[in-house]
Amino acid sequence: MSQTPVIPPQLQDSQDPTKLTQPIPAVSSTSNARPTIEVRSVSKVLGGNTVVSDLDFEVQQGEIFGFIGPSGSGKTTTIRLLTGVYTPTTGEVSVMGVAPSHPSRRVQEHFGYMPQLFVLYPNLTVRENLSFVAELYGMGRFARNRRVKELLEFVELYDARNRLASDVSGGMQRRIELAASLLHNPSLLFADEPTAGIDPVLRGKFWEEFRRLRDEGRTLFVTTQYVGESEYCDRVGVIREGRIVAIDTPIGLRRRAFGGDIVDVVVNGLTIATVQALEEVPIVKYVQPVSRNEIRVSVGEAGPAIPAILEVLSAQQAEVKRIEEYRPNFDEVFIQLMEQDEAARTQQEALGTAETLNV
């Protein structure tokens, strides 16, 4: 991998990431630009235990990449590998074109990092903590004061600015951390469970801000335990026991979990012949009766499938009461993916055992 820093053109040259910049145009995740983050066959062993293995993914500039997994699955380790806190045991990591384990100061000025735990100073006030972080990024007094005020207002902590960090709630501490990570307008933000412990209203506001940053062309790598937050991401990586189970868009993940889109149909006069007729439609993968009048039809894509289903039902003289795409929530998607992974692993282990016995 090249060691030349890849800094977004909008942030190159004389532009200082610590200056308040105008919104920059979003870069499509499908552009041909080199990925902001590239992870190739990365494993990390800590204390003799393999914490993550065979990580292989990339994150394009200007996208929100969500990293979802249960507690202890390796999300924080991955973020530490990307930020350069850890060096990979095997494999290669490239962030903005350089290996984060050998970062240049110029590249690090574009990093924003929100750790999982509160790591600022309990004896400093909220404002002093933010000023301290701003100074770490070399922000001058004027820009610092203005930016601190802006972010305090954004995270709704302006009134609490003079309270000691030790005297505020856990949720408020998360908001301080988020504000600290955004002080210098990073072009690449690593946020480790940013919404943990945050009320739903503020959580929505956080995601709104993330999307705004994304729309400015910034890249965000966000880990979360809230599966529902996958919907806010452009792409999502699902990690389990240190291995990536799936990487896709939220819709792609849903299709992967359930083998495609789901269409729920309620009809009067549902017969076996009707079900068989539907199963014969090439676009239909399977038909699952739910009740006497209701069936669930699995299709490749719901859009083109619904007219085809209606046509078959009409031919069968079945009276359609309701037909709509069923969108399973991401909890279901997540559980499905976990179960599939578990089944695949069990099968793999069984095969491995059988091969061993044959040998």
Partner 1 sequence: MSRFWKRFIRAGAFISKEFNEVRRQPRLILALILGPFLILFLFGIGYQGETNNLNALVVVPPGEQYSRDVAEYREMTGNQLNVTAVSADLNEALERLRRREVDIVVAVPVDAARQISSGAQARLPVYFNEVDPLRRDWITYLSFLYTNEINKNTVAAVASQGQEGAGDLRSALARLRNSLAAVEDRVRNGQMQEASEETQRMQGSSTNVQLTVVLLAQLLASESAVVKPPQSQDPEQVNLANGGEAAGQLSEDLRDLNEELNSPNPDRARLLERIGRVRADLDRMDALTQQFQSINPLVLAAPFYPQIENTAPIKPSFTSFYAPGVLVLILQHIAITLTALSMVRERLLGTVELFRVSPVSPLEILTGKFAGFLLLLGGIASVLLVMMSNNLVIEGVPLSLGVPILGDWVLLFFSIVLVIFASASLGLLISTISKSESQAVQISMLVLLASVFFSGFFLRLEALWWPVRAVSYALPVTYGVSSLQVIMLRGGVPSPSAWVGDVPFPAVLLALFTLGLLFALIGYLQFRRSFKQQ
> With CB under 8 A as the contact rule, which of the stretches 131-139, 202-210, 273-281, 350-358 interacts with partner 1?
131-139
Question: Of 119 and 354, which has the nearer Cβ to partner 1?
Answer: 119
Structure tokens at 187: 């072009």
Six token digits for residue 306 = 């619904």
Residue number, 11 or 278, with CB nearest to partner 1: 11
Q: Containing H/E element for 248? A: strand 243-248
262 is a site residue for partner 1 (CB under 8 A): no
Residue 205 CB-density burial (10 A; 0-12 exposed, 13-18 middle, 19+ buried): middle
Element (H, E) at 284: strand 284-289
Please, which residues bridge with residue 239 across strands? 244
For partner 1, which is the closer residue by CB, 63 or 177?
177
Stretch that binds partner 1, among 104-112, 149-157, 272-280, 284-292 (CB under 8 A): 104-112
State yes or no: residue 135 binds partner 1 (CB under 8 A): yes
Residues of span 194-253 touching partner 1 by CB under 8 A = none
Candidates 64-72, 100-108, 208-216, 263-271; binding stretch for partner 1 (CB under 8 A): 100-108
From the list 65, 111, 330, 334, which residue makes contact with partner 1 (rule: CB under 8 A)?
Answer: 111
Q: What is each CA distance from 335 to 14, 27, 70, 276, in whole angstroms? A: 48, 32, 11, 30
Site for partner 1, residues 37 to 56, rule: CB under 8 A: 46
Q: Which of 8, 84, 194, 237 binds partner 1 (CB under 8 A)?
A: 84
50 vs 249, which CB is nearer to partner 1?
Answer: 50
CB pairs under 8 A, 24+ apart, for 132-135? 133/180, 133/183, 134/18, 134/183, 134/184
If phi > 0 it is left, if psi is from -120 to 50 it is alpha, else beta; for residue 260 that is: left
Q: Distance between CA atoms of 325 and 297, rounded to whole angstroms?
A: 9
The yes or no reply on residue 140 touching partner 1 (CB under 8 A) is yes
The answer to whether 295 and 287 have CB atoms below 8 angstroms apart is yes
Q: Which of 8, 62, 74, 115 binds partner 1 (CB under 8 A)?
A: 115
Which member of 120, 196, 281, 338 binds partner 1 (CB under 8 A)?
120
Specify the stretch interacting with partner 1 by CB under 8 A; choose among 116-124, 218-226, 263-271, 320-328.
116-124
Q: Is 264 in the site for partner 1 (CB under 8 A)?
A: no
For residue 353, count other CB atoms closer than 10 A to its CB.
10
Q: Which stretch binds partner 1 (CB under 8 A): 31-39, 120-128, 271-279, 289-297?
A: 120-128
d(CA 236, CA 88): 22
Q: How many helices (H) and strands (E) does the chain have?
A: 10, 13
| Shortest CB 189 distance to partner 1, Å | 11
Residues 6+ apart with CB under 8 A from 27: 8, 33, 60, 61, 62, 217
| Residue 137 contacts partner 1 per CB under 8 A | yes
* Element of type H or E holding 321: strand 319-326
- Given candidates 3, 28, 56, 119, which one binds partner 1 under the rule CB under 8 A? 119
* One of 15, 33, 70, 124 touching partner 1 (CB under 8 A): 124
Residues of this chain that bind partner 1 (CB under 8 A): 16, 18, 46, 80, 83-87, 101, 105-106, 108-109, 111, 113, 115, 117, 119-121, 123-124, 128, 131-133, 135-140, 164, 190
